[in-house]
Amino acid sequence: MAMNQRYTNALHIAVTAPRDIKSGDPVQVGQISGVAQIDAKTGEKVTIWLDGSWDIEVTGALATEGLPVYITSAGKLTATATGNTPWGIALASKTSGAAPVEVAPLGYTAPAPAGAGA
């Protein structure tokens, strides 16, 4: 039997906080998207859940459920793709402005393929 396993499903993990984090905040570290379960300062370990659905404030309109939700460099969720990184999927629609909406984090995502000559 392998003795080097750390997590059974790796859905609730600890990562290094990219900024000051509050419990319930969306977090993205590289290709990992989840929701913080504890507060953490920049550089500290923070436990995040990569699964489930969460009511988190999203800025912008989401016309239908199933649309992508993006994270800004400041760690806020938005419906705007330009200049932002995919973070999750909306499980409900909402009008413009900033308001909580049910979202599911992407969890682990595959890195983009390298360009030609990379």
Which pLDDT tens digit goes with each residue over 14-60?
Answer: 999 999 999 999 999 999 999 999 999 999 999 999 999 999 999 99
Residue-wise over 17-38: b if at least 16 C-beta within 10 A, else e?
A: bbeebeeebbbbeeebbbbbbe
Answering whether pTM is above 0.75, one says yes
Residue 58: per-residue pLDDT: 98
Say which amino acid occupies 32.
I
Average pLDDT score, the chain? 94
